[in-house]
Chains A and B, each alone.
Chain A
Amino acid sequence: MGIKHLMQVILENAPDAVVENPVPSYFGRVIGIDASMALYQFLIAVRVEGQQLTNDKGEVTSHLMGMFTRTTKMMAAGLRPVYVFDGRPPEAKQNELARRHEVREDAKEKEAEAKEAGDQAEMERFSRRQVRVNQQHCDEAKRLLTLMGIPYIEAPGEAEAQCAALCRAGKIWATGSEDMDSLCFGSPILLRNLTFSEARKLPIREVHLDQVIAGLGLTMPQFVDFCILCGCDYCGTIKGIGEKNALKLIKRWGTIEQALEHLDKTKFPLPESFNYQQARALFQQPEVLDPARVDLRWGQPDEEGLVQFLVGEKQFAEDRVRATTARLRASKQTATQSRLEQFMGPPAIMTSCSAPPGPWPMVQGPIVLTPSPFPPLRQQAGAAAAEKGNKKARTSAKGAKGAAKATATKPAAKKR
């Protein structure tokens, strides 16, 4: 899953790239959620006394419960989720999938052992490790989403790749996944912890790709190469090369090709199959639907349909299903809060006194060059000072006056 230790590397090298915000601050944002990841989390987390929820036929319903309640909570907070389902896994992922299969088989054996030993905690642990999202889970989730009026997309390949393409095209604002792969696929913004239980009160972690690559001092192609060396789902790793060495190598040589050329093969033997070109191609030209052909709509929930499906077939409590549906419907009716950015353009960054000196305000984008950046304050102030001769300011106020109006020319806050 994902890129090994990438989050740690980011936190160490580019702490500014990660921001934490509570869920409600994402109102109005359209977020593409990796459905397989979400379903997997629900299957693991939504349990009673360690057992998954089931209906009378013994079919698991944890994923539906999780998806129904979490999605409603997101909608109620004003978020607009879109679920993206995985399509065919790429060839290169077969090794990784085989490995995961082995882990599950292994866990199965261990669970049996624990059962014999009567160790409840161990049993639960290994039963969680066997969790796998199968086609039936996905099909049921899609049916549920249709009834809820929530859009979903079936990606031809990896869901994260599709999310990244949608995000770059502006169809969605961010990708919601735990998987750091999303950054490699080029999602400008990645949100983590989105589908965790609310009871855990985890804030959402927002990772900004541009700041990640700036913080690491890499270009985007170099970042992808770096991630491949760290260890991804599509390619083996070189023994002895972890995230630290990988960063060093890419910074020194720029590409994997160059790095391999200069690598001491006796010290760091390559794995049997090290098809990094294939992995790179998967990250850079993944198979995705054209975002322009994707049309996202949030419709009204079908209450009777939901009751029939969840209560009739899955034995959910009817009053809860109806109450949740009512919340879902209410979330559609309220007008959406807009943001100041929509009216005033992107904000400029200003830095406070004790930060290192620099031109002020530091400009992000062209906004500060527009003719009237907050003129009332400065102009009024300047004019008033001019009229009254500025008796009380004993100092260089006159010099400051001219500068006060011009936005980009304000002197540095302070000298170090």
Chain B
Amino acid sequence: MFECLFEQASLLKKICEAIKELTDQACFEVSGTGISLQAMDSSHVSLVSFLLRNEHFSQFRCDRNLTLGLNLKMITKILKTAGNEDRVTLRAEDDGDHLVMVIESKTGNKISSYEVKMLDIDQQAFGVNETDYKASTKMSSEEFQRICHDLLVVGDTVSIEMTKDGITFSVSGTETSGCITCRQSGTVDDESVGTEITLQEPMNLSFALKFLNLFTKATPLSNSVSIEMSADQPLCIHYDIGDMGNIRYFLAPKIDDEEGAGAAGAPAAAPTEAAGGDDE
């Protein structure tokens, strides 16, 4: 059987919030090493993966590896009934078809128990190659969230440029364009997180803001975020969950339409040789 105890419901809440925008249903894999998950949005543009290592749970038991197919919307609703300080236990039998969630109030006087039916999910998973990213920026997660949110006013595609001086987010819409630059700064003081850039070569790629805004749902999990890019690779947005694990998002870039650029002035349609009765 599998059993683990979250001392604070808030952690599990935040994790579910960070994933449920991308997919309604997901497979949680539990093994002797911890809990992990990989899920994609329906159009296969983005992917989220997270890991929580077993040794950071106050109780963790897993007799055999299980893959738990769960409805995240339902799990989130149940977690809403728990206070942030409540303790949550997850339990699943090796051959059961449901997950048991036990929510214990801080004082221990109230115990709620929920059974959630598990789903048959055929999920597609990628082998993500561990790329050595050519450019990466570590910055305040709240700042990043704000930038993604603010730029959505202007347009839906952001180009992210990293140079040795800083990271620039620029958006151009039909009538407006805008850009926000965060300069390389290092840590300013103990409280706030500065912007640190590690660069092998400058990088400039375009992404859909819609997805970046979904990723920033993970902001409450960490006060810093790493943005990592390489040419011809998906963007990686990386949040550490304390020292317990991490949550990472991958996003396929937007690519300029070659034909669009090439054929701008060229004759519109290109029917084949057989096209005989062309009008005009």
Give the B-binding residues of A (Cβ under 8 A). Answer: 21, 24-25, 27, 87, 139-140, 142-143, 145-154, 156, 289, 293-302, 330, 332-345, 347-355, 360-361, 367-368, 370, 372-378, 380-382, 384-385, 388, 390-401, 403-404, 407, 410-411, 413-416
Contacts and interface: CB of A to CB of B under 8 A. Distances in A.
Interface string B105-147: 0000000000000111111111111100000000000000000
Nearest to B248: A376
Contact of B121 (A149, A352, A375, A394): A352
A353 B54 contact: no
Given A391-B55, A394-B61, A374 B128 contact: yes
Given A299-B268, A395-B62, A382 B33 contact: yes
B270 A296 contact: yes
Contact of B66 (A333, A342, A413): A413
Nearest to A407: B127
Interface in B223-280: 232-234, 250, 252-257, 259-260, 262-280
Contact of A368 (B51, B127, B254): B127
B36 interface: yes
Nearest to B250: A340
A372 B127 contact: yes
Interface stretch (B13-21, B38-46, B196-204): B38-46
Given A156-B274, A401-B32, A299 B252 contact: no
A38 to B, nearest CB: 16
Contact of A349 (B123, B127, B265): B123
Contact of B256 (A335, A339, A395, A410): A335
A407 B29 CA distance: 13
B184 interface: no
A174 to B, nearest CB: 15
Given A335-B206, A335-B256, A397 B33 contact: yes
Contact of B64 (A139, A153, A384, A411): A411
B127 A300 contact: no
A415 to B, nearest CB: 6
Contact of A397 (B62, B252, B272): B62
A385 B55 contact: yes
Contacts of B122: 349-352, 355
Q: Which of B33, B120, B250, B264 has the most CB of A within 10 A?
A: B33
Interface string B52-67: 0111010111111111
Nearest to B127: A373
Given A146-B278, A149-B268, A333 B69 contact: no
Contacts of B279: 139-140, 142-143, 146
A143 B280 contact: yes
Contact of A353 (B36, B46, B67, B130): B67
B31 A145 contact: no
Contact of A348 (B53, B127, B273): B127
Contact of A404 (B27, B31, B270, B273): B31
B217 to A, nearest CB: 19
Contacts of A299: 263-264, 266-269
A162 to B, nearest CB: 10
Contact of A297 (B68, B174, B259): B259
A414 B95 contact: yes
A145 B270 CA distance: 10
Contacts of B60: 392-393
A354 B68 CA distance: 8
A410 B30 CA distance: 12
Given A21-B42, A367-B127, A293 B157 contact: no
A297 B263 contact: yes
Contact of B128 (A333, A344, A354): A344
- In the A-B complex, the 5 residue pairs with the smallest Cβ-Cβ separation, listed nearest first, are A397-B32, A373-B127, A352-B69, A347-B124, A299-B268
B260 A333 contact: yes
B131 to A, nearest CB: 9
B272 A295 contact: yes
A151 B271 CA distance: 6
B59 A335 contact: no
Interface string B179-201: 00000000000000000000000
Q: Which of B38, B67, B119, B269 has the most CB of A within 10 A?
A: B269
Nearest to A141: B279
B51 to A, nearest CB: 5
B120 A354 contact: yes
Contacts of B127: 344-345, 348, 367-368, 370, 372-374, 407
Nearest to B51: A377
A411 B51 CA distance: 19
Given A154-B275, A338-B255, A413 B65 contact: yes
B182 to A, nearest CB: 23
Interface in B81-95: 92, 94-95
Contact of B36 (A151, A301, A377): A377
A139 to B, nearest CB: 6
Contacts of B64: 395-396, 400, 411, 414
A396 B32 contact: yes
A403 B33 CA distance: 11
Contacts of A360: 67
13 contacts: A142-B277, A143-B279, A146-B269, A294-B272, A297-B270, A298-B260, A335-B255, A338-B254, A344-B129, A352-B69, A377-B51, A385-B32, A397-B33
Given A343-B252, A372-B130, A385 B54 contact: yes
B97 interface: yes
Nearest to B232: A343
Given A148-B268, A393-B60, A337 B257 contact: no
Given A143-B279, A374-B49, A381-B53, A343 B130 contact: no
B59 to A, nearest CB: 7
